[in-house]
Amino acid sequence: MATGVLRGIVERAWARPVPEGVARLAEAAIDAVGPSAVVAVLFYGSCYRTGEVAEGMVDLYLLVDDYASMRATRFARFANRLVPPNVYYLQVEHAGVRLRAKYAVVAFDAFERLVAPSTRNPYFWARFAQPTGVVRVDDAYRERLIRGFGNAIIALYTHARALAQASAPTETREPGNLWVNVLQATYRTELRAEKPFRAEEIYSSDRERFDEIDRLLRREDLPPPNGASWRLRRIEGKALSVLRLLKAAFTFVGGADYLVWKIERHSGHAVRLSDWQRRHPILAAPPIVWRLWRARAIR
């Protein structure tokens, strides 16, 4: 299988030491979701790349064996099945410092399906094709998780090659363009407040890894990517982003302030929330999103 040639790349990311603060946040998240439900905890994003956890927001993913086994309301479980993942917020004190994390929860079988190359929406495979650490994984799920990461990488790569073939030859001569172009395309399928050069940063931070993937997979007989147009993906993805934001109003305590912090950090656009907007995030969201859209703080 093509995922087999990627095993070393996946396991190298897993071998990276997990900062103590991240382990402490993971423990708190596991306690909140239910220790018996969690089969794996993943660590990714900017804090993973930099190793700095004190000043940022740590991104965690908790994979559960089944939604029924997690600590959540019936509505939260239904919402997670309908539009995964559910996203929650927590903060802990560690070594005299307040650490913050947002952690997403998704069932393991849903994770496997959503990172597959046949999945149209890139929300999951675009994330987990990037370097991702593992805080813990149950032995019974280890091989399946390796295959899942491999499938995510293949999904991003096959879509990258398809975009490159559709582009002018001069745009694909530099190795980095293969990855930068597809990452930028995936950003446009979400309501993301990303800086224009974010894709270049991600590629540059792990250039050898991305180039090694290209060398390994060029020789493989890969499944074709999902053939949906990127215009359809953008329409679908932005609709899903809105649904996730609305859902987060019920699960993400402090979510309004977090979203504002995220937008300001990535775009430089300052947003001030009133007490009413914090109390009524669903009613307040449409005019705020519209204002940010017009200001090009989100795309």
> 45 and 85 in one domain?
yes
Asked if residue 192 is part of any domain, the answer here is yes
The residue range of the domain holding 282 is 232-294
Asked if residue 299 is part of any domain, the answer here is no
Q: What is the CATH number of the domain that holds 157?
A: 3.30.460.10
The angle that helices 255-267 and 230-251 make with each other, rounded to 10 degrees, is 140
> 211 and 278 in one domain?
no
Q: State yes or no: pLDDT of 120 exceeds 60.
A: yes
Question: Which of residues 197, 229, 261 is at a domain's end?
Answer: 229
Domain count, the chain: 2
Tell me the pTM.
0.86
Measured CA to CA, the distance from residue 55 to residue 44 in angstroms comes to 15
> 237 and 215 in one domain?
no
> 254 and 114 in one domain?
no
The pLDDT of residue 1: 57
What is the DSSP code (8-state) at residue 121? Answer: -
> 38 and 154 in one domain?
yes
Q: State yes or no: pLDDT of 68 exceeds 60.
A: yes
| Distance between first and last Cα of the chain | 37
Residues 225/186, Cβ–Cβ less than 8 Å: no
Q: Cα–Cα distances in Å, from 3 out to 58, 107, 140?
A: 28, 21, 18
Q: Which 3 state secondary structure label does DSSP give 189?
A: coil
> 155 and 32 in one domain?
yes
The percentage of the chain sitting over the pLDDT mark of 70, rounded to a whole number, equals 85
Encode pLDDT of 198-222 as tens digits: 999 999 999 999 999 999 999 888 9
> 137 and 283 in one domain?
no
